[in-house]
Amino acid sequence: MRAWRISFPEVRLDVNERILALQLTITRGRVAAINHIPTDWSMTVDAGYADRPSVSGSAAHGAGSLLSTEELRWFVTVCEVGSMPVVGDLPFTVEGTLATSTDFETTRDRTFTMRELILQESASNNAPADPLWGRTIVARSRLGYPAEPPPVISTNFSLLEAGRERIW
């Protein structure tokens, strides 16, 4: 199973334009790891649909919005999945969207194909072979201050297993 670290390409932003949110959609793959969450952002991994898992994230406040894609460098790792009856012969793909704004009232969506995103094959490629379908993970970073320790990430996810929902 091949694993890929993903980054958004460098995006030329207009004066006062900031990145407020992101979305990644994967076909015939799964999310193996969230490697980095920018300060004051939350990320959600939704693997509820086996054929199109997704990652979404957004700034909690205007101050957490990003001035460049640098903080999104290699922020997620995804894995190709072999045979999946649900998706048939569809190829492995990753597509992304960045929502930007200059006034925090109107947004502009910038979409990226797999060719436009930056994929780097993971050196380890030791991702578990069996993903847990139906899992949703929500993680948030705290607003960091110089005297504060690194951001704390809390996770909450559930797995629908044998008709019962289990919460960890």
- What are the residues facing 160 on neighbouring strands? 165
Alpha-carbon span 40 to 58, nearest angstrom: 9
Identify which has the larger pLDDT, 39 or 136. 39
Q: Where are the beta strands (DSSP E) in 28-129?
A: 29-34, 41-46, 54-59, 76-80, 93-101, 108-112, 118-121
Average pLDDT over the chain, rounded to an integer: 78
pTM to 2 decimal places: 0.72
pLDDT band per the 50, 70, 90 thresholds, residue 2: confident
pLDDT tens digits, one per residue of 113-133: 999 999 999 876 554 444 444
Adjacent-strand bridge partners of 34: 76
Confidence check: pLDDT of 45 > 80: yes
Of 130, 123, 136, 131, residue with least CA distance to 165:
136
The 10s digit of each residue's pLDDT in 149-164 is: 444 333 333 333 333 3
* Sequence-ordered list of residues with C-beta below 8 angstroms from that of 103, at least 6 positions apart, any chain: 16
